[in-house]
C-alpha cells in the first residue's frame, strides 16, 4: 500500500514539473506571435493593442516559472523568452531616441535592465544545467545583444542627466562601469569591454552625477578611473576637490590639491590660490611656504608660487626679500595688480619700520635728515608699484590713493599728496 501511495506522489510531482515546462513552451508560442506583430511596422491600433496584451499575458505566464522548483528542462528557455519580450518592449522607445523624439526614459532603462538581467540568468541556467551545442540555442545570440546593449545604458544615463535626474543617471552610468563584471555571459569579451577607451570619460560622468546626487561613496568608487580622463583633466580635478571639500575632508583635499598643482602649476593656478588661502586663513605660514616651494620646484617662474612666497616673507616682515619674489611674479604676469600692490606695501612697511626705530633718539637736525634718508628711499621705491596699481585699477581709488598719499607725505610732495587726498574725499 505504501509503495502504491509513493508511486502516486512521484507521478503528481512529475506531472507538476511537466505542467510548468508546458507553460514555458506556451509562453514561447505567444512570444513568436508578438514577434510577428512587431515585424509589421504598418500595424493598426487594434493590432498594437493586441500585441501589448500578448506581451503582458506572456510575462504573467512566465513569472511563476522562475521561482518554481518544478520548472526543470525549460528554465533557461523561460529566461530567454523574458529577455526577448523585454527587447520588444524597449525597441519602440529606443527608436524614439534614435529619431530624437520624446520618449519615456525611465521605462526604456527599466526594460533594458530587465532584458539584460534575464539574459544573464539564462546563461547561468545553461551553465548550471550543463547545456551545450544544440541544447544551448541561447548563449551566442544573447551574448551579442549583451555586448551591444551597453551603449543603450549610456544613452539612458545621458538622457537622465540632461533631465536633471542625477540619481537615475548615476545608476545608469554605474551599471555601464560595472558591466564587464556584472554579466558573466560576456566571457572573454569582458576584458575588451573593461578596456574600452571611453571608460575614463564615462567614469567622469558617473562622478559628476554622484556629486549632484550627493552620493559620496559612489563618487569615491569611480574617481580613480575618472582621473584618467585626460581630455577634461582640469574639470575632473576641480570636481574631485569640490567633493572632498563638501565632505569636510580637508586633509585629503590639501593632499590631492597639492599633487594636482605640482603636476601643472599654470593650469591649476586657481587651485593653488585656494590652498594658499586655506593656509593663510589658518595662520599656517610653514605649510604655505612649503607649498610655495613645491610650486617653484615644479616651475620656478610660477606667478602664484612666487607671489605666495612673497606673502609668507612679507608676513614675517622680511620685506626686501619678499619684494624679490613679487618682482618675479610681476615678470611672469606684468598685469598682476596684487603683486604690485604688495611690493609697494613691503617698501612702505620697510620705510615705516626704519622710521619707528628712530623714535626717541636724540639727534641734531643734520643727523635726523641723514637718518631719514633710508625712510624716504624706501617710500620712493614704493611709489612706482602703487602707480602701476593705479594704472591697472583706476576705478579702485581707495586701494592706491591712500597709499600714494602716504608716500607723498613722506617725500614731502604736498601737491601730489593733496591730489590723492582729494580723490579720497
User: What residues contact residue 193 under an 8 Å CB cut-off, 6+ apart?
Assistant: 147, 150, 179, 180, 186
* CA-closest candidate to residue 293, choices 313, 308, 314, 311: 308
pLDDT at 38: 82
How big is the chain by its Cα radius of gyration, in Å?
37
pLDDT at 340: 98
pLDDT at 15: 42
Render pLDDT for 373-417 as a digit per residue (tens, 0 to 9).
999 999 999 999 999 999 999 999 999 999 999 999 999 999 999
pLDDT greater than 70 at residue 7: no
Least confident of 24-33, 183-192, 307-316, 388-397: 24-33
pLDDT at 20: 78
- 338 grid coordinates: 596684487
Residue predicted with more confidence, 37 or 389: 389
pLDDT at 358: 87
pLDDT at 4: 43
Render pLDDT for 177-236 as a digit per residue (tens, 0 to 9).
999 999 999 999 999 999 999 999 999 999 999 999 999 999 999 999 999 999 999 999
**Per-residue pLDDT band at 425 (split at 50, 70, 90):** confident
Q: Averaged over 328-338, what is the pLDDT?
A: 96
**Per-residue pLDDT band at 14 (split at 50, 70, 90):** very low
Q: Whole-model pTM?
A: 0.79
Q: What is the C-alpha to C-alpha distance for residues 322 and 344, in angstroms, rounded to an integer? A: 11
For 103, 112, 362, the CA distances from 96, given in Å and listed in that order, are 6, 15, 93
Q: Averaged over 238-257, what is the pLDDT?
A: 95
**Per-residue pLDDT band at 2 (split at 50, 70, 90):** very low
Q: What is the C-alpha to C-alpha distance for residues 170 and 380, in angstroms, rounded to an integer? A: 61
* CA-closest candidate to residue 74, choices 62, 86, 85, 83: 62
**Per-residue pLDDT band at 265 (split at 50, 70, 90):** confident
pLDDT at 17: 47
pLDDT greater than 80 at residue 16: no
Residue 279: how many other CB atoms lie within 10 Å: 21
**Per-residue pLDDT band at 98 (split at 50, 70, 90):** confident
pLDDT greater than 70 at residue 11: no
Least confident of 86-100, 115-129, 381-395: 86-100
Domain positions in the chain: 1-161, 335-425
pLDDT at 367: 87
- 225 grid coordinates: 578611473
> In percent, how much of the chain has pLDDT > 70?
96
pLDDT at 13: 40
pLDDT greater than 60 at residue 9: no
pLDDT greater than 50 at residue 286: yes
Mean pLDDT, all residues of the chain: 91
Residue with cell 641734531: 364
pLDDT greater than 70 at residue 8: no
Strand (E) or helix (H) holding 117: helix 105-129
User: What residues contact residue 18 under an 8 Å CB cut-off, 6+ apart?
Assistant: none
pLDDT at 369: 84
Q: What is the C-alpha to C-alpha distance for residues 276 and 278, in angstroms, rounded to an integer? A: 5
pLDDT greater than 70 at residue 3: no
Q: Averaged over 34-63, what is the pLDDT?
A: 88
Q: What is the C-alpha to C-alpha distance for residues 110 and 108, in angstroms, rounded to an integer? A: 6
Q: Averaged over 26-47, what is the pLDDT?
A: 86
Amino acid at each position: 500500500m505504501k509503495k502504491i501511495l509513493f508511486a502516486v506522489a512521484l507521478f503528481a510531482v512529475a506531472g507538476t514539473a511537466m505542467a510548468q515546462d508546458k507553460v514555458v513552451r506556451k509562453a514561447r508560442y505567444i512570444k513568436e506571435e508578438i514577434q510577428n506583430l512587431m515585424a509589421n511596422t504598418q500595424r493598426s491600433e487594434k493590432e498594437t493593442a493586441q500585441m501589448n496584451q500578448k506581451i503582458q499575458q506572456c510575462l504573467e505566464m512566465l513569472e511563476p516559472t522562475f521561482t518554481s522548483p518544478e520548472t526543470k528542462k525549460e528554465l533557461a528557455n523561460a529566461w530567454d523568452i523574458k529577455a526577448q519580450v523585454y527587447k520588444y518592449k524597449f525597441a519602440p522607445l529606443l527608436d524614439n531616441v534614435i529619431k530624437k523624439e520624446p520618449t519615456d526614459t525611465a521605462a526604456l532603462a527599466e526594460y533594458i535592465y530587465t532584458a539584460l538581467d534575464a539574459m544573464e540568468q539564462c546563461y547561468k541556467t545553461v551553465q548550471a544545467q550543463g547545456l551545450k551545442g544544440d541544447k544551448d540555442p541561447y548563449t551566442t545570440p544573447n551574448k551579442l545583444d549583451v555586448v551591444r546593449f551597453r551603449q543603450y545604458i549610456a544613452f539612458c544615463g545621458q538622457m537622465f542627466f540632461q533631465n536633471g535626474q542625477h540619481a537615475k543617471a548615476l545608476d545608469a552610468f554605474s551599471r555601464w562601469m560595472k558591466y564587464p563584471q556584472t554579466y558573466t555571459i560576456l566571457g572573454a569579451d569582458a576584458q575588451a569591454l573593461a578596456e574600452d577607451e571611453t571608460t575614463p570619460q564615462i567614469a567622469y560622468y558617473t562622478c559628476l552625477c554622484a556629486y549632484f546626487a550627493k552620493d559620496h561613496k559612489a563618487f569615491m568608487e569611480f574617481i580613480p578611473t575618472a582621473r584618467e580622463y585626460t581630455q577634461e583633466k582640469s574639470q575632473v580635478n576641480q570636481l574631485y576637490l569640490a567633493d572632498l571639500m563638501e565632505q569636510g575632508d580637508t586633509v585629503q583635499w590639501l593632499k590631492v590639491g597639492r599633487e594636482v598643482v605640482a603636476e601643472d602649476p599654470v593650469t591649476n593656478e586657481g587651485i593653488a590660490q585656494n590652498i594658499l588661502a586655506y593656509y593663510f586663513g589658518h595662520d599656517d605660514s610653514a605649510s604655505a611656504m612649503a607649498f610655495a616651494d613645491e610650486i617653484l620646484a615644479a616651475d620656478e617662474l610660477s606667478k602664484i608660487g612666487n607671489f605666495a612666497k612673497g606673502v609668507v616673507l612679507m608676513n614675517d616682515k622680511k620685506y626686501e626679500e619678499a619684494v624679490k619674489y613679487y618682482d618675479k611674479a610681476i615678470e611672469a604676469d606684468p598685469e598682476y595688480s596684487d603683486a604690485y600692490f604688495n611690493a609697494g606695501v613691503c617698501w612702505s612697511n620697510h620705510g615705516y619700520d626704519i622710521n619707528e626705530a628712530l623714535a626717541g633718539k636724540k639727534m641734531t637736525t643734520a643727523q635726523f635728515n641723514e637718518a631719514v634718508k633710508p625712510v624716504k628711499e624706501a617710500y620712493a621705491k614704493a611709489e612706482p608699484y602703487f602707480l602701476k596699481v593705479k594704472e591697472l585699477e583706476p576705478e579702485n581709488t581707495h586701494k592706491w590713493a591712500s597709499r600714494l598719499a602716504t608716500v607723498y607725505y613722506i617725500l614731502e610732495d604736498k601737491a601730489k599728496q593733496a591730489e590723492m587726498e582729494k580723490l579720497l574725499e
